[in-house]
Structures are given as C-alpha cells and as structure tokens.
Structure 1
Amino acid sequence: MAEERVQKILAAAGFASRRACETMIEAGRVKVNGRVIRLGDKADPEKDTITLDGKMIKTNVKKYYIALNKPKGYLSDIDETHPAPTVNDLIDIPEKLFAVGRLDLDSEGLILMTNDGEIANRLTHPRYRHEKEYEVFVIKEPDQEQLEIWRRGVVLEDGYRTLPAQVEVMTNSNNGSWLRIIMREGKKRQIRKTGSRIGLPVAVIKRVRIGTLKLGNLRVGEWRHLTPKELRDLKVYTGLEKPAK
C-alpha cells in the first residue's frame, strides 16, 4: 500500500476529524515505528506501526454513518466539566463515533455521527463552506430591514462579520416567526448571537439539513444508518467521490 500522510490515516481509521488528528500530531502524541512524527510525515498503514498515546491504531475499522435527531439538553461532544449527557449516549454502536455538525446544548436537529474522519473533515473544515439548513423561531416578527441585514452578514460583538446567508420567513404567529436559514459556516452559537445582535431573540434552533443529508421524519432522539444512496450523494457532494456517469 502506498504511503499516506499520517493525519489522513488516523482520520480514515476513525480517531477524529483530520484537523483534530493534526492537533494530536503537533502535540507529539503520535509515533510511527517508535519515532515521534511531525505534521506532514507519511507512513504505510500495512507495513508501519502507528501508535497514538502509546496504543497501536487499527486501520481496518468498520465505518459507520448515522443520522441523529439531537434533542435539546444533549452535548455534541464529551465535556467532563459538564453534567449533561452527550449524543453518544443515544447511540448503541461499538465503535467510537464523533459528531459532524455540532449543535449547542439548547439546539436540536440533524447531526451526522461517524468514525470516517475524511468525510468529517470535508463537512466541517471552514474552507469548504458546505450548506447547513435550519428552522429557527424568533420571538418577534422580523421586518424587511432585519432580514436584509441578516442576509448580508452581521458584525458580532467580537468583531467577526458573518458570511451572507439565505434567510426567509416560513410562518408568522402572535408569538414570533419561524425562519428558514441556510448558512455556509458554523461559528459557536452564531445563529443566537446574530439574532440577538439585530433585535430578533432566538427561542428555537432546529437543523434540518447538512449538505445533501436531510433530517426528514426522524423523531427527536432517534437515529438511523444512512442509506447507500444518501452516503454516495454525500461523498459526491463533498468531493470524495466522482458523480456517476
């Protein structure tokens, strides 16, 4: 087997996204044949011995691709300082899976759970700017100026200017409005911060799509394996596979 960059091997083996694997290498936690490696070093997973924190990695791990409808009150990642349960508590799978498309504790909706670091990297790395779609309830009916500001991009309190987004009103009620928001980035609590910044307090966030993958009628707290077509479409969308001719 040809040599590959070690961060790619680790990601493909399901340890984490490629970015997280790069951080592990930079921290000196990864060795090849007993030697601490540097970022960019290569190895042959069939011939070389690769260890992470002294433990040998397996490169032939079965890949899992799971759509989960995250409930409120669950963390997307393990946080030993927080008592809340995590999305991993909802899934009965023998392999360690990590969440692609994180949602904060108070948000709900679609998360992709996988141990495929390559597809995780393609879907989460900022340079790819893949679409994520949300249904958002704000406790005030927005006017056209507020909608246009959100669409163009908003300067948040930390000085960061959000990328342009697609924002449209789905329905209005006495209590507020449901908005459909399509974004190509995902800074921490960005939707809530943006709404607050322009006078539209956010009460509910529900993600309904990541790239080509849709939440559909999956109930809150439930999960399912992706269909072969969903997985193929997602790999084509992220550039990991070429479209069928």
Structure 2
Amino acid sequence: MEDNLKRINKYLSEVGYCSRREADKLIEARRVTINGKVPEMGTKIAPDDIVEVDGKTISNNKERFVYLAFNKPVGIVCTTDTRVEKDNIIDYINYPKRIFPIGRLDKASEGLILLTDDGDIVNKILRASNNHEKEYIVTVDKPISQTFIERMANGVPILDRVTKKCEVRKLSSHEFKIILTQGLNRQIRRMCEYLDYEVITLKRVRIMNIKLDLPIGNYRELTKNEFQELNKLLEHSTKHYKSNKHNGGH
C-alpha cells in the first residue's frame, strides 16, 4: 500500500496541474483539500483520494484529458473545421473524443503532430513556440552544398526578418536535418527557396521531448514519462516566451 502513496505536491506536479513548489504554496495557503480536509505539508495520498484545489477536483486529471502523438501523412490538413476540408486531421484520426491539433504541419509535410482536448497545454505550447525545439528531416531537389548548410544555420531573410540561428546537419547529398526553435509560416520551405533550393519532402521527427516512433497515419497516447517531461520543459519556457504572430506550419 505504501508504494501507492505519494506526496500531494508530487501528485499535483505529475498530473500537470502545477510545479511542486507552486503546489507547496497552494497547500500553505490552505487552498488544497484531500477528501474535503485541508492537508498538512508533505501529506501523502492514495490513488482513490479526492484532491481538490479551490474546490475543483484534480483527481485523475490525466485520465480526463487525451494527449496523442500522430504521424501525419502528406495531404492531411491540420484543421478542426470538418466542413471545409474533406482531408482534415480530425476526420482522418476519427478519435471518439473531440480533440484538436497543437500548432500545425502543412498539407504537403508529414510527421509528428500532437493532439489533445486540454486547452491549457495547447496555450502553453503555442506561447512557448519560440523556445522549444522541433526537428525535421528534409530532402531537396539538388545536391546540398556546405554554403547552403552554413547559411541555413546562420539565418535567412524571410517574412521581413532574418530567421534565428539553428542547428543544421547534412545527412546525404540531398537530405539534411534541421532543428528550429521558431515557428514562422512555412519557414523551412521559404528558407530553402531563398537559397534557390526546392523542398521535395519534409518530415517532422521530434517536438521537444516527443520523438516520432509510429508508422505513417498511426497515433498513440503520450507515455507518462513523456507527459511529465513535457510539462517540465513548458514550465521553464513559458517564463521566457515572446509572442509570435507569424506562428505557422512547415
């Protein structure tokens, strides 16, 4: 039984409600209850205990929300408007609950996209989009030069600005890897176009700590470890974000 018990601050952190430090402040302010009673600092809870913050139940927070990783095929559109696009992501996945994509990935691109019904985490991820890493594998229409790699890495003028420095590595004659911490509209395609290269295929293989490990067209739930790590990264990055009105797909 003791194995199933966990400290209340750890529990609130694990379900993604707040950090342990913030949980301690809530407990100190007597805003947390366990089975209707105000706990002491360091109180441990069992799985069937009812935890509330300001009278709102937090128990089973993770079960209430869905967090999916999906390997989007080329041709599927990242919209929740099922009337407009017949090839939209929502109809394609056909999940039994109402979910929505976090950010977007262009129709012509494939790879990892996250979907959820948790509006809070969507806002956190989109607000932090200038801080978190997204990794792509790209093939282009002609051999990749060292100059191309260096210029892509150091910044290219698109959309009235110069792109942020990023990590770029050549994988083969026509293929490279790029890690962005920026979400400008069609950023990679525009960067390549500026340098007179055309993107043939573009696949996103990682968002922050979530890696693409699925066959194309398949989805899976995030693991508990992935979800916890994602929350830790967001907790850090939302304190340092800058708004980005050009946020878009690739």
TM range (shorter): 0.5 to 0.7
2:124 is aligned, of 116, 122, 125, to: 122
1:8 matched residue in structure 2: none
Q: After TM superposition, give the deviation of residue 188 of structure 1 in Å.
A: 1.4
Q: Which amino acid aligns with 2:150?
A: E
Which residue of 1 is the match for residue 218 of structure 2?
A: 222
What secondary structure does 2:215 align onto? coil
| d(CA) in 1 for partners of 2:181, 2:70 | 20
In 2, Cα distance between the equivalents of 1:81 and 1:92? 14
Task: Give 1:7-156 correspondences, 5 Å limit.
Answer: 62-79=64-81, 82-125=84-127, 128-156=130-158
- In the alignment, structure 1 segments of 5+ residues that lack a partner are 1-11, 13-43, 47-58, 241-245
Stretches of structure 2 lacking an aligned partner (at least 5 in a row): 1-16, 18-53, 237-250
The answer to whether the aligner puts 1:163 opposite 2:159 as a matched pair is no
Q: Percent identity?
A: 35
Aligned length: 180
Cα pair distance change 1:94/1:144, threshold 3 Å: same
Instruction: Return the offset for 1:93.
Output: 2.8
| Alpha-carbon distance between aligned partners in 2 of 1:81 and 1:191, rounded to the nearest angstrom | 29
Indicate the structure with greater helix content.
2
Q: Corresponding residue for 2:228?
A: 232
* TM-score under structure 2 length normalisation: 0.66
Q: Give the whole-Å Cα distance in 2 for the aligned partners of 1:126 and 1:153.
A: 20
Aligned in 2, Cα 1:81/1:200: closer, same or farther, shift over 3 Å? farther
1:124 CA displacement? 1.8
**Secondary structure of 1:181's aligned partner:** strand
**Aligned 8 A contact 1:126 1:185 in 2:** no
C-alpha displacement at 1:118, in angstroms? Answer: 2.2
Return the offset for 1:122: 2.3
Equivalent position of 2:44 in the other structure:
none
Q: Match for 1:201 among 195, 198, 201?
A: 198
Farther-moved stretch of structure 1 (122-131 vs 182-191): 122-131
TM score, norm. by length of structure 1: 0.67
The structural deviation recorded for 1:90 is: 2.7
1:166-185 to structure 2, matched below 5 A, reads 166-172=167-173, 177-185=174-182
